[in-house]
Amino acid sequence: MRSPEPASLAATDLRDRIARGEITASAAVRSSLDRIAVADGDVEAWAFLDAGLATAQAEAIDHFRGAGRPLGALHGVPVAIKDIIDTRDMPTENGTVLDAGRRPSKDAAVVERLRAAGAIILGKTVTTELAVYHPGKTRNPRDAGRSPGGSSSGSAAAVAAGMVPLAIGTQTNGSVIRPASYCGVVGYKPSRGLVSRRGILKQSPALDAVGVFARSVEDAALLADAIAGPDPQDPQTLLAAPPALLATAMSRPPVKPTLAFVRSPVWDQADEDMKAGFCELAEALGPAIEEVVLPPAFDSVHRMHAAVMLADIARNYARYMEAGRQQLSEKLLGMIAEGEAMRAVDYSLALDWIDVMNAALEEIFVRYDAIVTPAATGEAPRGLGSTAVLSSRRSGPIAVCPP
């Protein structure tokens, strides 16, 4: 029986086979590069890829293992990195021509941890312009005529197309969860403070987060474990031992979990198929799931989020306006203009509401183990002209599932 190609293996399986000597890191990289050669012409997930550099990393990893040295949690596993995350040996161009050729002198914290865990940094994946809304070149590997989502479009697409088992992305406004949903992979956006953001393009400090993409929950947990933990150079990381996510994902729950079904304040924007699917899911889960209505404070959550994000974008991207306003998309220019017009009192109020909404969610988690809610409005929309971000304005009454 022919052995499976390394690129088709789960990351946990690939890691274990490399550790046992059944597969080399070099073979894993060759398999990924072969898959990229076949698939990326249609998908265009990569912003930078150097086969020679990837191969050299793999050879060094194999030499490390051959010397009998202790292996890291991701020894020999290829990982893709979103192109707003600094890498010392590859360009980081942030999805804009204004950063073309930019070469950071240091790795971002997450890249440092990946290298320490033995991962191979395969290349940099496409992001939307400055990780906002103007799409990059990437197409959805499930259907090239549909949006892959954004802003971590290349990372989600590279995993979905089988080019790499794991990828890193970031999220300020659904930029991990939405492309994961559209491309049909697992996306995980950790809680604030779990993963350092040092060395990553700053968009909105109150909202930015690092996330992961994988083809299974277990693989996502494997990757998240490797990058989690406090960072003295990022004071917003939690000074606490990170959770053992992989061990939890691979264990049986001690009790049957109780789930909360939350429609969200913009349930009316969901596709009819999405609504029907979630109603069917709730019915199938029976007594294990209960519908929970969010407090009225959440009616303004999208408006508050926009206030924080837009004001921060205007502040943090002012340098790009000065360097080459004419090189920025009309969409981004409009968002910067909105941010510049934001009143300080509205921005301050929106920041205060973060704690209010977190407190409301804490009350839900006292009773429930997890929240079940849509990651997007429905299937990936047709067309590549936008990342399909939903509106913050409610357009009609919230429908309910039939009894």
Average pLDDT, the chain: 94
pLDDT band at 394 (very low <50, low <70, confident <90, very high): very low
Bridge-based pairing state of the strands 166-171 and 78-82: parallel
pLDDT band at 398 (very low <50, low <70, confident <90, very high): very low
Mean pLDDT to the nearest integer, 248-258: 93
Mean pLDDT to the nearest integer, 194-202: 98
pLDDT band at 47 (very low <50, low <70, confident <90, very high): very high
Cα–Cα dist 21/195, whole Å: 31
Instruction: Determine the pLDDT at residue 2.
Output: 65
Instruction: Determine the pLDDT at residue 393.
Output: 45
Cα–Cα dist 331/325, whole Å: 12
Do 167 and 158 contact (CB within 8 A), yes or no?
yes
Instruction: Determine the pLDDT at residue 374.
Output: 94
- Catalytic residue numbers read 82, 151, 175
Cα–Cα dist 83/94, whole Å: 5
- Residue given tokens 């409301």 in the structure block: 360
Which domains does the chain possess?
Answer: 6-249 (3.90.1300.10), 259-372 (no CATH)
pLDDT band at 14 (very low <50, low <70, confident <90, very high): very high
* pLDDT tens digits along 275-317: 999 999 999 999 999 999 998 889 999 999 999 999 999 999 9
Neighbours of 334 (CB within 10 A): 12
Q: What percent of the chain has pLDDT over 90?
A: 90
pLDDT band at 403 (very low <50, low <70, confident <90, very high): very low
Cα–Cα dist 258/253, whole Å: 11
Q: What percent of the chain has pLDDT over 70?
A: 96
Cα–Cα dist 129/257, whole Å: 40
Q: How far is CA 286 from CA 38, 186, 291, 398, 401, in A?
A: 44, 24, 11, 22, 13
Kindly provide the b/e burial profile for residues 241-258, where b requires at least 16 CB atoms within 10 angstroms of the residue's own CB. Answer: ebeebbeebeeeeeeeee
